[in-house]
Structure 1
Amino acid sequence: METSQLQAVIFDMDGVLIDSEPVWQQAEFDVLTGKGLPITRNEIAQTTGLRIDEVAQYWYRLFPSDDFDTAAMADYIIEQVIHYIRQDGTAMTGVYDALRACRQQGLKLGLATSSSSDIIDAVLEKLQIREFFDVIQSAEHLPYGKPHPEVYLRCAAALGIAPGKCLAVEDSLNGLIAARAARMQTLIIPSVSQQQDPRWAVAHHQAVDLRALPALLQRLCSPR
C-alpha cells in the first residue's frame, strides 16, 4: 500500500493499551499448575492473543482429561483479569500521546481485540479512553478469533476503511498473523523479553513501546 493512503489505526488491547498480559499468563499458570500439569511460563506465552475459549481448548487438546473444565478455566481467568484491571490496571507507556497523535493526523481509530466485552469495558473505563475509538470490535462472538483475520476485517469494515489503508498495532504473534492476513500494515510492540524474536521480521514496523507511534505516523501520513 502507499503509505500516504493511511486512513486508520486499529489497536489490539491487552499488552498494547493496558499492561494486562502478565495477569492473563499468571491466571493460566495458576489453573494449569493447580491441576498438576508440567507447564512453563514460556509455553503459556504461546497463547498470547488467543480468545479465552480458544486458550482453554488449546490446553485441553494438550492435556485431555475428564476433569478438565474448559468453561471453569475461562471464567476463572476472566475474573482474575477484570479484578486486576479495576484495581491495578495501568496504561502501557505512550498510550495517551499515541491516541492523540492519531487524532491529530485525522485518522480513524479502531479497537480489535480477542477479549470479552466485560474486559473491554473494564479497560476503557479504567484508562478513560473510550472516547478515542470510532469502532470497538471484539472477537468474542465471532466464529474464529486471532490468528484468524476476521476481527480486523470487521473492524475495518465498520470504520469504512479498506484494510490496506489501516495500520494494526499488536504485541503478539497470533495478533500479528491476523493483521497480516487482513492485509494491513503492522506495528509490533512485543514484550521486553520477546523483542529479539526473529519472527517479528514479518511485521512492517517494530517498536519498543507506543512512544514510537507519533513519529511513525508522521512518516506514513506524509505525502510522497
Structure 2
Amino acid sequence: MIKAAIFDMDGLLVDSEPFWQDAQLLVFKELGVNITRQDTINTTGIRIDQIVKHYHKTQGWEGPSCDDVCEMILDKVIELVGIKKPIMPGVMHALSLCKEAGFRIALASSSPMRLINATLEALDIEDWFEQRYSAEHLKYGKPHPEVYLNAAKGLGVDPRECIAFEDSFAGLLAAKSAQMRTVVVPEHQVADKPQWVISDVKLRTLNELSVQDLTS
C-alpha cells in the first residue's frame, strides 16, 4: 500500500533543465572547456559537482576550484528560476491528487539545498512538502538510490510503500533501485526511448496523472 509520494525537482516540478544547460555552457566556455548542449542533456539528473569534476579531470582549467565553478553555475540557475518561475504543467494537479490520497509528500533532488529552497519558494509550493532531501553532500548522487532511501527513512515509510516521480533516467534508476513505485515524465525529446519501459507509469505531463496511477 502506497503511503508516501516523493518528488524529484528539476525537470519535473520546475522547467529548469534549460537553465542548467545554459549555465553550464556559459561558465564552461569562460573556463575554456569545450562542451555542447547535447553533452549537458546527456548528464541530466547527475549531480552538478560530479559533472564539474568530470570536466576538470578530462579537460582541466586554470583558476577557480571545482567548488567555485559549481557555485557559479548554481548562482546562474537560481537567478533564472527566480526570474522565470517556470513551473511544469500539472504540478498542482499531481500534488493535489497525492494529498487527497492521504500520502505524505517529500522532495528528493540531486540539486543543492540552496537551489531546492529557492525554487520551492519561487514557485510558491514549499508548504506542500513536509520534508526536503538533497543528494548534495552524499557520497553518491542519482542514479544511486541513497537520496530516495533517506527520504523514505525520514518519513518513516518503507521504500516499497513510496511512489517516486521523476523525469530523468538517472533519477528513475535511483527510484527503482530503492524499490519504489515510479512515475516518469520524460522530456519530450527523449520520451520515445525504450529505456522508460522500466517505469511503472509513463506520462507526457503530470496533468495526465490519475488516482489509478498512484496505486495500481
User: Normalising TM by the smaller chain, what interval?
Assistant: over 0.9
Distance 1:62 1:45 in 2: 18
Which segment is superposed worse, 55-64 or 65-74?
65-74
Identity of aligned residues (%): 40
Partner of 1:97: 93
Please show how residues 1-224 of structure 1 align to structure 2 within 5 Å: 5-65=1-61, 67=63, 69-213=65-209, 215=210, 217-221=211-215
Distance 2:14 2:190 in 1: 17
- Residues 187 and 205 in structure 1, CA contact (< 8 A), matched pair in contact too: yes
Quote how far apart the aligned CAs of 1:59 are: 1.8
Residue 218 of structure 1 aligns with an amino acid whose one-letter code is Q
Quote how far apart the aligned CAs of 1:24 are: 0.4
SS at match of 1:13: coil
| Change in 2 beyond 3 A, CA 1:16/1:70 | same
**Superposed CA offset, 1:107-151 (max 9, x none):** 111100111121111111111111111221111222221111100
When normalised by structure 1's length, the TM-score is: 0.90
SS at match of 1:145: coil
SS at match of 2:139: coil
Distance 2:11 2:46 in 1: 13
Distance 1:193 1:209 in 2: 13
Distance 2:214 2:7 in 1: 16
Name the Cα RMSD after superposition.
1.6
- Residues 60 and 68 in structure 1, CA contact (< 8 A), matched pair in contact too: no
Residue 147 of structure 1 aligns with an amino acid whose one-letter code is P
Q: Provide the aligned length of Structure 1 versus Structure 2.
A: 216
Structure 1 residues without counterparts, runs of 5 or longer:
none
